[in-house]
Amino acid sequence: MTSGDTTGGGTHSDLDALLDAALRIAKQNVRMASSFDPFVLVTGSDGRMLSAEIDRSELAKHPESEELVDAALTQLRGLTASVRATALTLAARLAKERSDAIEVRLEHRDGTALLVLVPYRRPKFGGNVDFGEATTFRGIPEVWT
């Protein structure tokens, strides 16, 4: 997150832990494949971080990313009584920068919502993926609405 962050201590540590884990998983996915499906991490009321599987039972065989995001948000809204923070991570495209990015939508039950973008570029011929700096924005609450 940013150094000028004004979230409370517990909120800050919950969101930082989720962000670190989400970026670690997403970067690993990017290194191994050209893209990745959205995924969800949550911090339970007891403080444990858990991975939540997105329910695909109502979706087509090969759902679009936005359909998975909508399904994930619906599921997360149903978990608000038992979790205190969420991270929805997906592959994004930054049109202006002409770059792919990892997008992490963080939300805490205290009302804090953040959007973190990490641009990346793939080498044309072999080599390592080049990850840019994370940029944090104020997000729009989508889980605790």
Task: Provide the pLDDT for residue 59.
Answer: 73
Is 4 inside a domain boundary?
no
pLDDT 10s digits, 66-76: 889 999 999 99
Is 3 inside a domain boundary?
no
Candidates 42, 39, 113, 112; CA nearest to 80 is 42
pLDDT 10s digits, 87-96: 999 999 999 9
Which residues have a Cβ under 8 Å from the Cβ of 94 and sit 6 or more positions away? Answer: 100, 101, 117, 119
Amino acid at 120: Y
Q: Which residues of the chain have pLDDT under 50?
A: 1-6
86 to each of 15, 76, 125, how far by Cα in Å? Answer: 8, 8, 36
56 by DSSP, 3-state: which?
Answer: coil
Is 44 inside a domain boundary?
yes
Output DSSP code: residue 65: H
Task: Provide the pLDDT for residue 57.
Answer: 77
Q: Give me the number of domains the chain comprises.
A: 1
Is 75 inside a domain boundary?
yes
Is 25 inside a domain boundary?
yes
Is 18 inside a domain boundary?
yes
Count how many residues are written for the chain: 145
Task: Provide the pLDDT for residue 4.
Answer: 39
Residue-range definition of the domain harbouring residue 69: 9-138
